[in-house]
Amino acid sequence: MFFILCLLPILGTAQETERCKVFYSEDSADFEQWMQANQSTPTELEERMDFNIPMIFHIVHNGDVLNSIGNTSAESVYAQIETLNEDFNRKLGSNGYNDHPDGASLSINFCPAKVDPDGNVLQEFGINRIQRNKPKWSTSEIRNELMQEVYWDPSRYLNVYVVEIATSGLTRFLGFAQFPSSSNLSGLNNDQGGASTDAIVLHNAVVGNHEKVPNFGLLNENNLGRVATHEIGHWLGLIHIWGDGDCDADDFCSDTPNASDPNNSCLENQSCGEIDMIENYMDYSPDACMNIFTNDQVARMITVLRNAPRRKSLNTSNVCREPINQSFFDNKITIGPNPVQGEFFINFNYSEDLSNAFALGVNLFDTQGKRIFNTSRKVDDLSFNIDVPAGIYFVQVSYEDFAKSFKILVIE
Ligand SMILES: [Zn+2]
């Protein structure tokens, strides 16, 4: 099993310089073979598609006041998601931009889920707040208790647990992630872990972006949202750029210079005959000096997004869209003006930019139940001219199994 723990030395102790550790299993060789075999070619890169990653942040608190570091605000979550989109897309004008010749963009969209697994619209998009009578969680408690109790289908959601991770000795854990499982591909037996733990975990003191939403509880060197970028890099198959070993250890990306150790500062460093790429998200440098994924790293992530179970399925997950259901019809569709004089409109209060994506059925009945007309209209074209005798009529609006009827008075 692959599991990656990212650690941070406790402030005030100089002994611990490593903030992250990776535990490999005997499956790692299989995983690398699979990755090599499935590496995207440059041609594929040019034709690459956009990827869609619905996210749910399980914010686990201990009765902490809302919008505190122990119960992260929705604004901080959205700042975090915005940061991910900047970093993975190398967005011009953002902290995630670089002009490095090896820099690359993944063309990906991280979005907050709008519905829970049962289809209910979330009170706070992308957020599931969980109160537990427990101030801190060890990594094993997170994996063996919390994740087993609470996880949303990882083929539809990227589960993100935000929790105060307990320190271990002199080391503070910033987060961890599960590598992509590939057991259905290439005949390889490389199970990286079950569905319930197929997630990323973030210490609650690193979630958000201090520049976007000031939050004075964030750790100084990790207040720009890059721990999440790093962990999702792992979740998409990336390995630390020093290969978790000396100069002979590889991260299987030829455009990230070999390094012998992680870097913990923004100072230039040379460890294996080349200057270390401290600005790479897969190093341990402070958030402020990170801004690059390389072409080879992006190729690995694309390979995973196209092939790995519980990754490729996210691209067709529709949980970031507001559902069209009966509740939606009851609450968000109105008609007017009423009385009607020649023309009426169906008002469709839909927040998504899906104006051409689907059509509504529209029927007009008289009081005897006789259908006057029956039409199907795209949701961006919902005005109707009617030429009927004055009187009472009924307009029925429908979509799939859902419908709502309106009584209108037509006047001369
Ligand atoms: Zn890591």
3-18 burial string, b = 16+ CB within 10 Å, else e?
bbbbbbbeeeeeeeee
Cα 58 from Cα 72, distance rounded (Å): 10
Element (H, E) at 345: strand 343-348
Domain locations in the chain as residue ranges: 3-316, 326-410
CA of 114 to the centre of ligand 1 (A): 29
Report yes or no: 200 and 229 within 8 Å, Cβ to Cβ: no
CA of 20 to the centre of ligand 1 (A): 5
Cα 210 from Cα 205, distance rounded (Å): 11
Question: Which pLDDT tens digit goes with each residue over 159-170?
Answer: 999 999 998 888
CA of 125 to the centre of ligand 1 (A): 27
Q: Per-residue pLDDT for the chain (412 aa), expressed as one digit of tens each? A: 445 555 544 433 333 323 443 333 334 455 555 555 555 544 444 444 478 899 999 999 999 999 999 999 999 999 999 999 999 999 999 999 999 999 999 989 999 999 999 988 899 999 999 999 999 999 999 999 999 999 999 999 999 999 999 988 888 889 999 888 763 433 234 778 889 999 999 999 999 999 999 987 899 999 999 999 999 999 998 889 998 899 998 888 999 999 999 999 999 999 999 999 999 999 999 999 999 999 999 988 988 898 888 999 998 888 988 777 888 888 888 999 999 999 999 987 776 655 445 678 999 999 999 999 999 887 777 899 999 999 999 999 998 888 999 999 999 8
Task: Please give the CATH topology (third level) of the domain spanning 326-410.
Answer: Immunoglobulin-like (2.60.40)
3-state DSSP assignment of residue 45: helix
CA of 229 to the centre of ligand 1 (A): 10
CA of 176 to the centre of ligand 1 (A): 7
Contacts of residues 35-40 at CB distance under 8 Å and 24 or more positions apart, as own/partner, are 35/237, 35/252, 35/300, 35/303, 36/252, 37/186, 38/185, 38/186, 38/303, 38/307, 39/299, 39/300, 39/303, 40/299, 40/302, 40/303, 40/306
CA of 243 to the centre of ligand 1 (A): 10
CA of 282 to the centre of ligand 1 (A): 6
pLDDT at res. 10: 40
Residues designated as active site: 231
Report yes or no: 2 and 193 within 8 Å, Cβ to Cβ: yes
CA of 6 to the centre of ligand 1 (A): 5
Report yes or no: 314 and 195 within 8 Å, Cβ to Cβ: no
CA of 228 to the centre of ligand 1 (A): 10
Cα 251 from Cα 309, distance rounded (Å): 22
Model pTM score? 0.78
CATH node for 3-316: 3.40.390.10
CA of 332 to the centre of ligand 1 (A): 44
